Structure 1
Amino acid sequence: MSIRITAVGDIVMQYGDPERYFAPSAPITRASDVAIGHIEVPHTTETAISALTVPSPPAEPSYLQVMAAAGYDIGTIAGNHSFDLGTRGVLDTIAAARGAGMETTGTGANLAAAMVPAILERGGVRVGVLSFNCVGPRESWATSKKAGCAFVKVITHYDLDDLNPGNPPQIYTFCDRRSLEQMTQAIEALRRDVDVVVVALHKGYGHTPARIDDYEFEVSRAAVDAGADAVIGHHSHIMRGIELYRGKPIFHGLGNFVCVTDALTPDPDSDSEELKAWAQRRVEMYGFSPDPAMPGYPFHPESRNTAIAVLDVDADGIRAGFIPCWIDDDACPVPLAEGERDSVAAYIEDISRRAGLETTFSWDGDVVRIS
Structure 2
Amino acid sequence: MTAATGQADRTVGFRIAAVGDLIVDRPEPDRFFAPSAPVLRAADLTIGQLEVPHATTRAVATVDVPAPPADPAHLASVARAGFDVLTMAGNHVADAGGEGIAETIAAAEAAGMRTAGAGPDLESASSPVVVEVQGRRVGVLSFNCVGPTDSWATSRRPGGAYVQVLSHYEAIGANPGGPPSVHTFADPRSLELMRRRIADAAAEVDLLVVALHKGLVHTPAELAAYELEVSHAAVDAGADLVIGHHAHILRGVEVYRGRVIFHGLGNFVTVTDALTPASASGPEQLRWAQRRRTLFGFDVDPDMPSWYPFHPESRNTAIAVLDVASDGGLRPALIPCWIDAEGAPVPHGQDERGHAVLEYIRRITAEEGFSTGLAWEGDVVRISENDERGDLL
TM over 0.5: yes
Give 1:357's aligned amino acid.
F
List, as ranges, runs of 4+ consecutive aligned residues in structure 1 with deviation greater than 4 Å. none
The structure 2 residue matched to 1:14, chosen from 9, 13, 25, is 25
How far residue 311 of structure 1 moved from its aligned partner, in angstroms, is: 0.1
How far residue 275 of structure 1 moved from its aligned partner, in angstroms, is: 2.8
Is the Cα–Cα contact under 8 Å of residues 349 and 380 in structure 2 kept in the other structure?
Answer: no
How far residue 271 of structure 1 moved from its aligned partner, in angstroms, is: 8.4
Alignment of 1:191-210 (within 5 A): 191-210=202-221
Following the alignment from structure 2 to structure 1, what is the Cα–Cα distance between the partners of residues 30 and 58?
A: 24
| Partner residue in 1 for 2:317 | 306
The structure 1 residue matched to 2:286, chosen from 276, 293, 298, is 276
Is the Cα–Cα contact under 8 Å of residues 266 and 272 in structure 1 kept in the other structure?
Answer: no
Following the alignment from structure 1 to structure 2, what is the Cα–Cα distance between the partners of residues 271 and 312?
A: 42
| Partner residue in 2 for 1:128 | 139
The structure 1 residue matched to 2:380, chosen from 348, 367, 370, is 367
| Partner residue in 2 for 1:77 | 88
The structure 2 residue matched to 1:68, chosen from 79, 91, 108, is 79
How far residue 166 of structure 1 moved from its aligned partner, in angstroms, is: 3.0
SS of the aligned residue for 2:343 comes to coil
User: Quick check: 1:358 aligned with 2:368?
Assistant: no
How far residue 80 of structure 1 moved from its aligned partner, in angstroms, is: 0.2
| Partner residue in 1 for 2:275 | 264
SS of the aligned residue for 1:237 comes to coil
The structure 1 residue matched to 2:341, chosen from 321, 329, 341, is 329
1:220-272 per-residue CA deviation (whole Å, 9 max, x = no partner) reads 0000000000100000000000000001000000000011000001118x684
SS of the aligned residue for 2:142 comes to strand
How far residue 134 of structure 1 moved from its aligned partner, in angstroms, is: 0.3
Is the Cα–Cα contact under 8 Å of residues 5 and 311 in structure 1 kept in the other structure?
Answer: yes
Following the alignment from structure 2 to structure 1, what is the Cα–Cα distance between the partners of residues 289 and 78?
A: 29
| Partner residue in 2 for 1:317 | 329
1:186-205 per-residue CA deviation (whole Å, 9 max, x = no partner) reads 11011111111000000000
Following the alignment from structure 2 to structure 1, what is the Cα–Cα distance between the partners of residues 176 and 375?
A: 49
Is the Cα–Cα contact under 8 Å of residues 20 and 245 in structure 2 kept in the other structure?
Answer: yes
| Partner residue in 2 for 1:290 | 300
Is the Cα–Cα contact under 8 Å of residues 275 and 286 in structure 2 kept in the other structure?
Answer: no
How far residue 316 of structure 1 moved from its aligned partner, in angstroms, is: 4.8
Following the alignment from structure 1 to structure 2, what is the Cα–Cα distance between the partners of residues 207 and 176?
A: 25
| Partner residue in 2 for 1:181 | 192
SS of the aligned residue for 2:72 comes to coil
Alignment of 1:86-97 (within 5 A): 86-97=97-108
Which range is displaced more, 150-159 or 46-55? 46-55
How far residue 116 of structure 1 moved from its aligned partner, in angstroms, is: 1.4
How far residue 336 of structure 1 moved from its aligned partner, in angstroms, is: 1.1
Query: Is the alpha carbon distance of 1:201 and 1:271 closer, same or farther for their aligned partners in structure 2, counting shifts above 3 Å?
Result: closer
Following the alignment from structure 1 to structure 2, what is the Cα–Cα distance between the partners of residues 199 and 289?
A: 33
1:287-333 per-residue CA deviation (whole Å, 9 max, x = no partner) reads 11223541110000000000000000011511111000000001000
| Partner residue in 1 for 2:8 | none
| Partner residue in 2 for 1:38 | 49
Is the Cα–Cα contact under 8 Å of residues 24 and 74 in structure 2 kept in the other structure?
Answer: yes
For the aligned residue pairs, the C-alpha RMSD in angstroms reads 1.3
Is the Cα–Cα contact under 8 Å of residues 274 and 281 in structure 2 kept in the other structure?
Answer: no
Following the alignment from structure 1 to structure 2, what is the Cα–Cα distance between the partners of residues 272 and 147?
A: 24
The structure 1 residue matched to 2:63, chosen from 45, 49, 52, is 52
Which range is displaced more, 232-241 or 337-346? 337-346
Unaligned runs of 5+ in 1: none
Unaligned runs of 5+ in 2: 1-11, 385-393
TM-score by length of 2: 0.92
| Partner residue in 2 for 1:345 | 358
| Partner residue in 1 for 2:122 | 111
